[in-house]
Amino acid sequence: MAIKPAQLRAGACYSNGEFGKNWTVWQVAEISVTENELVMEPCLEMVRYRILVGKNRRKYMSLSRQDFAEKVRYEVELIESTWQRIE
């Protein structure tokens, strides 16, 4: 895992680092904390994201912050018409 859950930022874009048709770019729409009614369970941080490139393009989905961080490999940004990795 290249990105740690705490490093995820709303508005930022992330890639899975794959090639060809498996390549995906996600944009974090928001990070929120779910209210858990069970006292013994901790609250869960959720990431709502939009798929910009790849399968299910233009759709919004949600994952826990930890699960989303496990999917992504690095942050990217669109420069003119090319996605570039942010170092």
Please report the pLDDT score of residue 65 as a whole number: 94
Exposure pattern of 67-80 as b/e (b: 16+ CB <10 Å)? Answer: ebbebbeebbeeee
From the list 37, 59, 36, the residue with the least C-alpha distance to 48 is 59
Sign of CA pseudo-dihedral 8, 26, 75, 12: negative
Please report the pLDDT score of residue 43 as a whole number: 76
- Collapsing DSSP to helix, strand or coil, 49 comes out as strand
Answer yes or no: is pLDDT of 64 > 70. Answer: yes
Please report the pLDDT score of residue 41 as a whole number: 61
Q: Give CA–CA dist 65/17, Å, rounded.
A: 19
pLDDT (tens digit per residue) in 7-56: 999 999 999 999 999 999 999 999 998 776 665 566 789 999 999 999 99
Annotated domain spans of the chain: 5-80
What are the structure tokens assigned to 8, written together?
Answer: 């995820």
Average pLDDT for 63-67: 94
Overall pTM surpassing 0.75 (yes/no): yes
